[in-house]
């Protein structure tokens, strides 16, 4: 197959810009929804369930609603990746943006429904999250575009674009949600409609300007939604399996940490629900700044250095949140809780921001050029699977003991350090 790495630099730059926009729009919506979804979902679930229903059952439904997005990403990312190897990157990315327009608007509409229409509202919220997850599964294709447009030497800096888009989207999403609820308290659907409008803008721009970065038709794509054999082939590869496993466990840990942020805000810092948006915005801003720092530093330090540093920072930062929870529980150092919390959050997020592009770059560098879309799609599916398990573990452990999810996340991340040596010492034959 012929690749379009020789395409004009201007075209490549615009393709990378579109990748940035696609991921930004995806995470913008995610950043809007994550602080809002439990609020909206909770009020509708309460009306749907009969009186006297178990709070655990209530939590299961709410948990399924929150994890449905990642479930769909897990199932569909390999398929989108293989389709992009077959018909090209541009059609897949445009299809994802078109779906985002529809499902963000649907989320906005569902948010406006009164509690008397709880059954319909809950159904539409599930539909919106499932649809958004299917459309958001194109991140593996976005990674493949970067692989098409960059050399192996510049791959880690290219992958950092995704991290930067992730961080910026996750920053502005909560801020949009905060602004909408603050200035338009009676317009619950405003955030969804704004996200749909931004997706429409990106779709039109991509339709008119985005170049194709891969020649379609050179690779016979397997069109299954979920191909177990593809997973077995990729994960059993000694060059790829350990890297994906490290990223998988790190993402579980981050998911457990992320899903309990709102509870930390409420139980530890004693802040109101609206401030959840500001807390998530800070996380997104930190991700963005850390990814911006990663790109120039990646020219001076190896990808293995950043993988190790990311594990150390994230593991220790998340684990330290258990100590802060203990301090709060015992009414110690009350005046220092907020600064201690922000330091721990910063260390955790910077660690994840360093770890993510490093792992993604290593996967891309070691992938067969003819199977970039498929392999990166498998990697994205594993990430989505981790984002399903992370909140489940995090929220369950939080109910058992408020310190438990942070100890769990810290331990599983730090336990990955020995694997870095194995990854570094791997020699291709």
Chain CA centroid to CA 357, Å: 13
Three-class secondary structure of residue 51 per DSSP:
coil
Residue 11 corresponds to which tokens in the numbers above?
Answer: 């075209």
Q: Over its length of 429 residues, how does the chain's per-residue pLDDT go in tens digits?
A: 334 444 445 567 777 777 787 778 777 777 777 777 766 776 787 788 787 666 667 667 777 787 888 888 777 877 787 778 788 888 888 888 899 899 989 988 988 888 888 889 889 999 998 998 888 777 778 777 887 777 766 766 777 777 777 777 777 888 887 877 777 766 777 778 888 888 888 888 888 877 777 654 433 334 455 567 777 777 777 778 788 888 888 989 888 888 778 777 777 777 766 777 888 888 888 887 887 888 788 788 888 888 999 999 999 999 999 888 888 887 776 777 888 888 999 999 999 989 888 888 888 777 777 676 677 778 777 887 888 888 777 777 777 788 888 999 899 999 888 888 778 776 543
**Whether the Cβ atoms of residue 63 and residue 395 lie closer than 8 Å to each other:** yes
> The tokens of 154 are what?
């510049």
Domains of the chain, with CATH numbers?
Answer: 9-216+225-424 (1.20.1250.20)
And the tokens for 281?
């915005």
The residues with which 214 forms a beta bridge, in sequence order, are 3
Q: Which residues of 400-425 are buried (b: 16+ CB within 10 A; e: fewer)?
A: eebbbbbbbbbebbbebeebbeebee
SS3 state of residue 214: strand
Q: Between the CA of residue 340 and those of 264, 274, 322, 365, what are the distances in Å?
A: 13, 21, 12, 38
Q: Are 4 and 213 in contact (CB under 8 A)?
A: yes
Is 48:120 a contact under the CB 8 Å cutoff?
A: no
Measured N-to-C along each axis, helices 241-259 and 404-414 cross at an angle, to the nearest 10 degrees, of 160
């Amino acid at each position: 197959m012929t690749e379009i790495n020789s395409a004009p630099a201007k075209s490549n730059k615009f393709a990378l810009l579109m990748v940035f926009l696609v991921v930004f729009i995806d995470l913008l919506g995610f950043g809007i929804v994550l602080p809002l979804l439990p609020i909206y979902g909770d009020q509708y679930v309460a009306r749907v369930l009969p009186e006297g229903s178990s709070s655990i059952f209530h939590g299961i439904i709410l948990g399924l609603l929150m994890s449905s997005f990642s479930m769909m990403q897990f199932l569909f990312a390999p398929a989108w990746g293989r389709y992009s190897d077959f018909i090209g990157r541009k059609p897949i990315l445009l299809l994802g943006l078109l779906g985002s327009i529809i499902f963000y608007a649907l989320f906005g509409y569902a948010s406006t429904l009164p509690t008397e229409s709880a059954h319909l509202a809950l159904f539409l919220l599930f539909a919106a999250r499932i649809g958004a997850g299917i459309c958001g599964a194109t991140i593996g294709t976005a990674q493949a575009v970067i692989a098409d447009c960059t050399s192996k030497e510049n791959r880690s800096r290219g992958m950092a674009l995704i991290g930067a888009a992730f961080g910026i989207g996750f920053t502005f999403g909560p801020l949009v949600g905060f602004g909408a609820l603050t200035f338009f308290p009676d317009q619950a659907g405003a955030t969804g409609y704004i996200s749909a409008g931004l997706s429409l803008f990106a779709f039109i721009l991509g339709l008119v300007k985005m170049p194709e970065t891969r020649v379609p038709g050179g690779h016979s794509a397997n069109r299954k939604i979920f191909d177990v054999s593809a997973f077995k082939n990729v994960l059993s590869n000694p060059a790829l399996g350990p890297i994906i496993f490290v990223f998988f466990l790190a993402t579980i840990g981050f998911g457990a940490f992320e899903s309990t942020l709102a509870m930390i805000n409420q139980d530890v810092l004693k802040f109101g629900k609206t401030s959840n948006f500001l807390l998530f915005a800070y996380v997104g801003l930190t991700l963005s700044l850390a990814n911006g720092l990663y790109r120039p530093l990646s020219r001076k330090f190896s990808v293995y250095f950043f993988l190790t540093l990311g594990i150390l920072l994230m593991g220790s930062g998340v684990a330290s949140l258990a100590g802060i929870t203990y301090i709060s529980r015992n009414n110690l150092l009350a005046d220092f809780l907020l600064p201690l919390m922000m330091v721990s959050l910063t260390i955790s997020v910077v660690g994840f921001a360093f770890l993510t592009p490093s792992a993604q770059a290593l996967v891309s560098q070691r992938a067969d050029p003819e199977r970039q879309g498929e392999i990166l799609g498998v990697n994205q599916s594993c990430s989505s699977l981790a984002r399903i398990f992370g909140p489940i573990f995090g929220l369950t452990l939080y109910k058992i003991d408020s310190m438990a999810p942070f100890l769990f996340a810290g331990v599983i991340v730090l336990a990955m350090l020995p694997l870095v040596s194995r990854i570094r010492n791997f020699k291709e034959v």
